Amino acid sequence: MTSPLPQHRSHSRRYELNRFVYPVLSRRSRGISVGVNLNPDKVCNFDCIYCQVDRRSEAETRFVELDAVLAELEDVLDLVTSGRLFEDPAFADVPGPLRRLNDIAFSGDGEPTTYRNFDEIVASVADLKRRLGLDAVKLVLITNATMFHRPAVERGLEILDANQGEIWAKLEAGTEDYFKLVERTTIPFQRVLDNIAAAARKRPLVLQSLFMRIHGAPPPPTEIERFVERLIDIREAGGKLKLVQVYTVARQPAESFVEPLSVAELDAIADAVERSGMAVERYYGG
């Protein structure tokens, strides 16, 4: 699944004068996704080799201001639903079928569930969505699943469940060593696996699985075998997996040694996932 649209490769977290809320044309949402950046300080508990966030530059905003988030969100939602967003030259070439508001996504410059009052901000956004008559619009959490065990995050996930929510959890490895290579974190791989399995027992999850060429080489076949085994482990533990998004880099990554997979390389991974009985969507590089 590819697109010639440059907007798919431009996910700036700044829109006009906003500090927290930004619209993007999302290839995985197949429409407009309105992002809510809960990490304007650029702090993340992962340092992924493919991330586009420049963590070496100074953050302009360090604290999330709830009133400002909600005001910006209401303005951007009005821009999208009224169609005025597409008067902006950056969005003027978006085709008609994609000029739709698909979701409000908690994402941004770090891991959104590290935000201390995660449950409160999810509830506030859900209330705003309801007040604006946008009940059918999804709330999407794009997450590395490292904080699902925290009480405030567990409450936030339950609020998502009650408000057309969908959780996109990152799983991009089959072994601890490959996990450390890609995510560059001190958090144990097993915590991510346990948290995904526990959350998936309560609601179906979407898994986001980005693979890439590292120093010119795609993931070893044995790594993909272990990755598929982890998916099977989650399912056999009672977890429900709605979909696995198999994709590769489409924008400039943090490290120069990271490159997108070829179509054939990505298809080989997606085919292995499909053979395990999982539903798969494929997103190719730019």
pLDDT in tens, 239-278: 999 999 999 998 888 899 999 999 999 999 999 999 999 9
pLDDT at 106: 97
What tokens were used for 187? 């958090």
Among 145, 275, 284, CA closest to 211: 284
Given pLDDT bands bounded at 50, 70 and 90, which one contains residue 93?
Answer: very high
Cα angle 42, 44, 50 (rounded to 5 degrees) comes to 90
Cα–Cα dist 200/206, whole Å: 9
Given pLDDT bands bounded at 50, 70 and 90, which one contains residue 135?
Answer: very high
The helix or strand, by DSSP H or E, that contains position 236, with its residue range, turns out to be: helix 221-236
pLDDT at 9: 45
**Taking residues 64-71, what's their average pLDDT?**
95
Block residue for tokens 């009940």: 135
Cα–Cα dist 231/252, whole Å: 28
Kindly report whether the global pTM for this prediction surpasses the value 0.85.
yes
Given pLDDT bands bounded at 50, 70 and 90, which one contains residue 4?
Answer: very low
**DSSP-derived 3-state class of residue 72:** helix
pLDDT at 28: 79
**DSSP-derived 3-state class of residue 199:** helix
pLDDT in tens, 16-62: 789 999 999 987 778 999 999 999 988 899 999 999 886 565 555 66
pLDDT at 192: 98
* Domains annotated on the chain, with CATH: 6-283 (3.20.20.70)
pLDDT at 56: 63
